[in-house]
């Protein structure tokens, strides 16, 4: 029986990639003729896997035993794979996911006092402050209101913090960028609830408070953008929120640092100035080079990362498919570029649809690696004209003592054996 050797396999992969790029029939026909060689030389029907009997219908579908997805726990920047009882977060396995939507159970997790599982029949939302009416809503009342469903990414402000000062070559993309996820969110618009309570026109700030033991609470400026987009969400990816992600309700403030999207939401209070909670003084401030700390650095800036090939993977010379994710808290991604020579030359990547406002997109590019050591890196641009900075430019602005909002270009080094490692640039 004849089999396909490695050189033929690489040729077929390259032919398949070429076919995807061709828009006219003449060339496509030639490539297709080459591509159909593979099945003809693969053997007979005897080589096709046999039919198998499976288990009976179940009440919930599990993943295949051959699929291994799990988050990685972290205690402090770079201190990974710790006991869950010591962890402050767990990170999404970006290197093992496809498309742009994150499964609900793989959404990154960040909490300050564990994840309470609150009784939705007892949970209520108080809305008060500078309002004509102070109202308390039950979950049944919230679910009975007009709802919307929207696709948005969510990102922890600490995403990428491992690379502020150094680059551990043992880190994967899950380790460096796993504090970002993308979902369909369903809930009630904040603007609708503000109308019900009669929020006063000079209410320019809102306090959002959670029902966890830590009492996480944040002051949120009521800009036109936030008023238009913010949701009180009770569902994620077509199912009720999971306890780790705020069940039964959470705030969702698209494009802003994830800690503003308060989980286990129990109170909204309107006022005309920031409420200055400990979460915006002792925490979630950014230390600047001059020693001062910046407050209310809320937007998650334009960002991207190559997820394959990425840290601790290994590739072979010949055809390879580069893939990754891009996102921006300022708007919609309009362009992604990839460099396969360490940032000397750049080539535009293909972006998969749908391309939405404040949503992650998947990008791809075909690449033939010549086997020589090199570095690969991506950069993205949003519809407001913001371009993802290289690390040197980011550090020149923010210094090395900062911790949050790292959006420098991620570089992966590839050695002569095809091993991929994390480097700074």
Partners of 321 in beta bridges: 366
d(CA 139, CA 125): 8
Name which of 242, 199, 241, 245 is nearest 222 in CA terms. Answer: 199
Name which of 190, 278, 195 is nearest 233 in CA terms. Answer: 190
Task: State the CB neighbour count (10 A cutoff) for residue 238.
Answer: 10
| Burial group, residue 403, by CB count within 10 angstroms (0-12, 13-18, 19+) | middle
SS3 state of residue 362 = strand
Kind and range of the H or E run holding 152? strand 148-155
- Which are the contacts of 124, defined by CB distance < 8 A and separation ≥ 6? 136, 137, 138, 139, 266
Name which of 324, 323, 387, 331 is nearest 359 in CA terms. Answer: 331
d(CA 95, CA 178): 9
CA 235 to chain centre: 18
Name which of 417, 409, 416 is nearest 167 in CA terms. Answer: 409
d(CA 161, CA 155): 12
Residue matched to tokens 């396909």: 4
SS3 state of residue 422 = strand
- Helix axes of 25-35 and 6-21: crossing angle, nearest 10 degrees: 160
d(CA 247, CA 364): 35
The end-to-end CA distance of the chain, in Å, is 48
Alpha helical stretches, state H, 242-341: none
pLDDT in single tens digits along all 425 residues of the chain: 444 566 665 665 665 555 555 543 343 333 333 333 444 455 666 678 888 898 899 999 999 999 999 999 999 988 999 999 999 999 999 999 999 999 999 999 999 999 999 999 999 999 999 999 999 999 999 999 999 999 999 999 999 999 998 899 999 999 999 999 999 999 999 999 999 999 999 999 999 999 999 999 999 999 999 999 999 999 999 999 999 999 999 999 999 999 999 999 999 999 999 999 999 988 899 988 888 889 999 999 999 999 999 999 999 999 999 999 999 999 999 999 999 999 999 999 999 999 999 999 999 999 999 999 999 999 999 999 999 999 999 999 999 889 999 999 999 999 999 999 999 98
d(CA 338, CA 346): 5
Q: Pairing mode, if any, of strands 124-129 and 361-369? A: unpaired
């Amino acid at each position: 029986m004849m089999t396909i050797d490695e050189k033929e396999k690489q040729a077929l992969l390259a032919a398949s990639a070429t076919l995807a790029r061709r828009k006219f029939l003449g060339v496509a026909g030639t490539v297709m003729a080459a591509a159909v060689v593979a099945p003809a030389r693969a053997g007979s029907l005897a080589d096709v896997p046999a039919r198998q009997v499976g288990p009976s219908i179940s009440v919930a579908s599990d993943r295949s035993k051959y699929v291994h997805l799990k988050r990685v726990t972290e205690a402090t920047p770079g201190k990974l794979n710790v006991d869950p009882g010591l962890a402050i977060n767990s990170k999404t396995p970006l290197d093992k996911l496809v498309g742009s939507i994150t499964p609900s159970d793989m959404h990154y997790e960040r909490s300050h006092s564990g994840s309470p599982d609150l009784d939705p029949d007892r949970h209520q939302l108080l809305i008060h402050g500078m309002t004509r009416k102070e109202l308390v809503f039950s979950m049944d009342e919230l679910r009975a209101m007009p709802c919307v469903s929207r696709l948005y990414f969510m990102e922890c402000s600490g995403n990428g913090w491992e690379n502020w000062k150094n680059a551990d070559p043992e880190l994967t993309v899950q380790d460096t960028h796993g504090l970002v996820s993308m979902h369909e969110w369903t809930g009630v618009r904040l603007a609708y609830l503000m109308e019900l309570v009669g929020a006063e026109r000079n209410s320019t700030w809102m306090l959002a408070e959670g029902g966890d033991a830590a009492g996480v609470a944040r002051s949120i400026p009521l800009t036109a953008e936030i008023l238009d987009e913010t949701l009180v969400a009770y569902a994620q990816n077509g199912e009720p929120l999971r306890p780790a992600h705020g069940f039964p309700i959470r705030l969702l403030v698209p494009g802003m640092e994830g800690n503003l999207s308060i989980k286990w939401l129990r109170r909204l209070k309107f006022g005309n100035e920031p409420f200055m909670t400990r979460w915006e003084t002792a925490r979630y401030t950014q230390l600047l080079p001059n020693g001062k700390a910046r407050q209310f650095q809320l937007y998650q800036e334009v960002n991207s990362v190559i997820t394959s090939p990425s840290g601790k993977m290994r590739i072979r010379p010949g055809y390879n498919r580069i893939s990754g994710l891009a996102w921006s808290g300022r708007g919609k991604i309009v362009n992604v570029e990839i460099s396969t020579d360490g940032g000397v030359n750049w080539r535009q990547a293909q972006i998969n649809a749908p391309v939405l406002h404040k949503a992650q997109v998947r990008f791809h590019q075909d690449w033939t690696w010549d086997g020589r050591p090199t570095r690969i890196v991506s950069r993205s641009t949003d519809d407001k004209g913001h371009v993802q900075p290289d690390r040197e430019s980011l550090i020149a602005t923010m210094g090395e003592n900062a911790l949050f909002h790292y959006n420098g270009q991620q570089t992966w080094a590839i050695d002569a054996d095809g091993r991929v490692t994390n480097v700074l640039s």
